[in-house]
Structure 1
Amino acid sequence: MKKIYITLILLVFIAYEAYSHDAIEHDTKQTVISNGIGLGSVIAGVTSWERNRSVLLAVIHGFFSWFYVLYFVLTRQRSERK
């Protein structure tokens, strides 16, 4: 039940941030759309999913991208090394 509340709160914050801007310049919108998700976000999401099996944590770790990848490398366990 707590996961549902945390997810709803996170979605409210994301929606507020997304719709709180009056106008976005065309160049900014084009840059965001063309760049998409970075490599660090993908690596962080995949490693978080492998370790935790949680979609919410994978999204949060994907947001922090390279910071989580560095944390993962420094704190990984022997069973996670190949």
Structure 2
Amino acid sequence: MKKFYLTFIVVLFVAYETYSQDQIDSATKRTVIYNGINFGSVIAAITSWERNKSVLWAVVHGIFSWFYVLYFVLTRKKGERK
């Protein structure tokens, strides 16, 4: 569990440093946000399918995107860890 917290803190600092720049124009911000939302939806749908084997749940979790990914990471079972 220490490894998870350490990784989370490092990612948090990197994300803060990356997204705290004032020199980024609005087109770049829109592209980063749009791509991040799409990537989160894909990860959520894939993890939902692996856990539930249901298209309906995969679509619902794809809509919630990063919220489901975070939920999945926090509640995954031992068989889902690799």
Q: TM-score range by the shorter chain?
A: 0.5 to 0.7
Cα RMSD for the two superposed structures:
1.7
In structure 1, the partner of 2:39 is: 39
Give me the TM-score of the superposition, normalised by structure 1: 0.56
Matched positions, count: 49
Write out per-residue CA displacement over residues 24-76 of structure 1, whole angstroms, 9 at most, x where no aligned residue. Answer: xxxxxxx9xxx587000000000000000000000000000000000000000
Q: Separation in 1 of the partners of 2:78 and 2:60? A: 24
Percent of aligned positions that are identical: 71
In structure 1, the partner of 2:61 is: 61
SS in 2 for 1:38: helix
User: Aligned pair 1:72/2:77, yes or no?
Assistant: no
Letter in 2 for 1:67: F
In structure 2, the partner of 1:50 is: 50
Q: Separation in 2 of the partners of 1:42 and 1:67? A: 12
Can you give the 5+ residue segments of structure 2 that lack an aligned partner in the other structure? 1-29
Give me the TM-score of the superposition, normalised by structure 2: 0.56
Q: Separation in 2 of the partners of 1:56 and 1:78? A: 25
> Hey, which bits of structure 1, 4+ residues long, moved more than 3 A?
none
